[in-house]
């Protein structure tokens, strides 16, 4: 016997199914929000770790060369790597008595403005 499309039990089953699916959708949205927050925290942690690694590398670079960084932040950490300055034409000069100094070039390479250094 064919079921009546307007049968009360069919409508109840459809409502129960709708509510079940809605709960699944809501749970998925909640889990997505949790996952997004976890990803944000992981990215912030990774960015902070990368920043610390960059600072420690720059400090080590200047310490090995035996020169003081010309540009520092408020904490005394170098803001520009020594290798970049050397590529831009800066030089390390010996003053004698194991003293070394970083010397800014007189002229900059073509296409480079002094304000960019």
For residue 41, give both structure tokens.
């925290």
Question: What is the per-residue pLDDT across 68-104, written as a single tens digit (0 to 9) for each?
Answer: 898 888 888 899 999 999 998 888 888 878 888 888 8
Helix (H) or strand (E) holding 100: strand 99-103
Can you tell me whether residue 14 is helix, strand or coil? helix
Question: What is the per-residue pLDDT across 5-46, written as a single tens digit (0 to 9) for each?
Answer: 666 666 677 788 889 999 999 999 999 999 999 999 999 999
Confidence at 117, pLDDT banded by 50, 70, 90 = very low
For residue 74, give both structure tokens.
């408020």
pLDDT greater than 50 at residue 51: yes
Residue 53 has what pLDDT? Answer: 95
């Amino acid at each position: 016997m064919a079921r009546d499309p307007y049968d009360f039990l069919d409508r109840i089953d459809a409502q129960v199914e709708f509510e079940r699916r809605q709960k699944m959708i809501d749970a998925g949205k909640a889990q997505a929000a949790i996952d997004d927050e976890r990803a944000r925290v992981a990215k912030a942690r990774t960015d902070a770790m990368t920043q610390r690694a960059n600072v420690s590398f720059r400090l080590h670079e200047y310490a090995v060369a035996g020169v003081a960084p010309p540009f520092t932040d408020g904490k005394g950490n170098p803001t520009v790597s020594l290798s970049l300055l050397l590529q831009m034409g800066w030089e390390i000069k010996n003053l004698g008595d194991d003293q070394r100094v970083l010397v800014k070039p007189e002229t900059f390479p073509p296409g480079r403005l002094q304000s960019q250094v």
